[in-house]
Structure 1
Amino acid sequence: MDYIRITSIEDPLFASMHKLLGEVFPPEEVLEFELWKEPIEDPSIRVFVAVHEGEVVGATEYRYYPQWNIAMTDFTIIGQPGLSLGRFLAKNREQDLHQLAKDNGKVLFGMFAEIYNPYFKEDFDFGGIKPMNPYVRREVLSHLGYQRLDFPYLHPSWKNDGEAVKGLDLCFMPTDENVKEIPASLIVDFLKDYYKVLPNKPKAWLQMIEYIESYENIKLMPL
């Protein structure tokens, strides 16, 4: 199995990956094909696919923020069971991120991820792919070390229609397991930067940002 980076929507592997995205995630979570052109060419955004016997069977997108020494996992797709894809993608991503932090003269502080909460909303189908079941994914990510940030979370729809998307938790995986809370300012700075590409922010999202800003630190809670 090969771990291959995609940097252009002209790459045939991108079309395969985008098709997989549409099969797995709900529409409000998937950026339109053409709108990927600039993001995927951004050197800070790292999109990799797992290619098995010439076929894209999995993918992950993430980014490293040198100014904060943190990362964000945008998505992970397991397209087929029985290939140990979750471990393959996670280990390759981890090695890449630790090298990026090392090149920045630091040890990675940790990584954010938006994680579906099936206990809040159960109608996530994820294309019927069993390893993508939200209960399974939540437990796997908990095993990896992700913890829930202690506030009610929502995010702007990637359709940029001003709607708020609920049913997820914002989580963080600290490299140092002794870290029990992180600065609220780090969360706010990160979220504002991450969603700057969507100008049409829901009012509820802006209120959430104000809520986080009212705290000095936000606790990490079990998933």
Structure 2
Amino acid sequence: MEYIRVNSIDDPLFAKLHNLMKEVFPPEEVLEFDLWKGPLEDPGIRVFVAVHENEVVGVTEYRYYPDWNIAMTDFTIVGKPGLSLGRFLANKRMEDLQELAGEQGVELFGMFAEIYDPYRKTDHDFGGVKTMDPFVRREVLSHLGYKRLDMEYVHPSWENDGEAVEGLDLCFMPADENTHELPAALITDFLTTYYSVLQKKPEKWNKMVDQLNNKKTVALLPL
């Protein structure tokens, strides 16, 4: 298994990973092909594929923010069962992030992720890929150490149509298991930076940010 970074839409591996995204994720979660040009060329956005027998069988995209010493998992796709892909991608991603944090002279503080709550929204079949089933992924991410932030969460649709995407939790995996809350300002700064590329923000998202601005901390709860 190879772990290969993709940083151009002209890379033949990108077409394969984009097709895999469209097979697995709902349309509002998939950025158009041509709009990936900028993100892939952004040194802060790291897109890696797992290549097995010349096929893209897994993908992970994530970011590291040195100013806050945190990361964000944009998405992880396990395209085929029986290859230990989840473990492979998680381990390789963490190795890369710890190396980036090490360049800053620190150890990674933790990592955000948006995680579907299948107990609230059940209409995502994720292309019929059983390893991507929201019930399975939620438990896997819980085992990895992710915790749910105690807040009602929505995010702007990646179709940039101003619609709110619901049915997810914003979660955080602290490096220190004794971390039980996060500064609300860190969450606000992260979210406003992360979604700055989208011009149209839903009113529910604006209201959520306003509520965060009126808090000092947000608790981390079991996932």
Report TM bin, short chain.
Answer: over 0.9
The residue type paired with residue 216 of structure 2 is E
Determine the C-alpha separation between the residues in 2 that align with 1:129 and 1:90.
18
Secondary structure of the 2:16 match is helix
Q: Which residue of 2 aligns with 1:51?
A: 51
Q: Which residue of 2 aligns with 1:181?
A: 181
Q: Which residue of 1 aligns with 2:137?
A: 137
Q: Which residue of 1 aligns with 2:108?
A: 108
Determine the C-alpha separation between the residues in 2 that align with 1:134 and 1:48.
22
The residue type paired with residue 129 of structure 2 is I
Q: Which residue of 2 aligns with 1:163?
A: 163
Q: What's the TM-score once normalised by structure 1's chain length?
A: 1.00
Percent identity over the alignment is 69
Secondary structure of the 1:43 match is coil
Determine the C-alpha separation between the residues in 2 that align with 1:136 and 1:221.
19
The residue type paired with residue 63 of structure 1 is R
- Per the TM alignment, residue 213 of structure 1 is displaced from its structure 2 partner at its CA by 1.2
Q: Which residue of 2 aligns with 1:146?
A: 146
- Per the TM alignment, residue 105 of structure 1 is displaced from its structure 2 partner at its CA by 1.1
**1:200-215 → structure 2 map (5 Å cutoff):** 200-215=200-215
2:80 matches 1:80: yes
The residue type paired with residue 73 of structure 1 is T
Determine the C-alpha separation between the residues in 1 that align with 2:104 and 2:10.
30
Structure 1 residues without counterparts, runs of 5 or longer: none
- 1:2-39: CA deviation from partner (whole Å, max 9, x where unpaired): 00000000000000000000000000000000000000
Determine the C-alpha separation between the residues in 1 that align with 2:148 and 2:212.
14
Structure 1: 4+ residue segments shifted above 3 A: none
- 1:79-104: CA deviation from partner (whole Å, max 9, x where unpaired): 00000000000000000000100001
The residue type paired with residue 197 of structure 1 is V
- 1:120-179: CA deviation from partner (whole Å, max 9, x where unpaired): 100111000010000000000000000000000000000000000001000000000000
Paired residues, what number? Answer: 223
Determine the C-alpha separation between the residues in 2 that align with 1:41 and 1:116.
28
Determine the C-alpha separation between the residues in 2 that align with 1:25 and 1:70.
25
- Per the TM alignment, residue 214 of structure 1 is displaced from its structure 2 partner at its CA by 1.0
Determine the C-alpha separation between the residues in 2 that align with 1:211 and 1:144.
29
The residue type paired with residue 180 of structure 1 is H
Secondary structure of the 1:197 match is coil
Secondary structure of the 1:10 match is coil
Secondary structure of the 2:72 match is strand
Q: What's the TM-score once normalised by structure 2's chain length?
A: 1.00
Secondary structure of the 1:107 match is coil
Determine the C-alpha separation between the residues in 2 that align with 1:105 and 1:182.
22
Determine the C-alpha separation between the residues in 2 that align with 1:194 and 1:75.
14
Secondary structure of the 1:209 match is helix
Secondary structure of the 2:20 match is helix
Q: Which residue of 1 aligns with 2:68?
A: 68
- Per the TM alignment, residue 73 of structure 1 is displaced from its structure 2 partner at its CA by 0.1
Q: Which residue of 2 aligns with 1:128?
A: 128
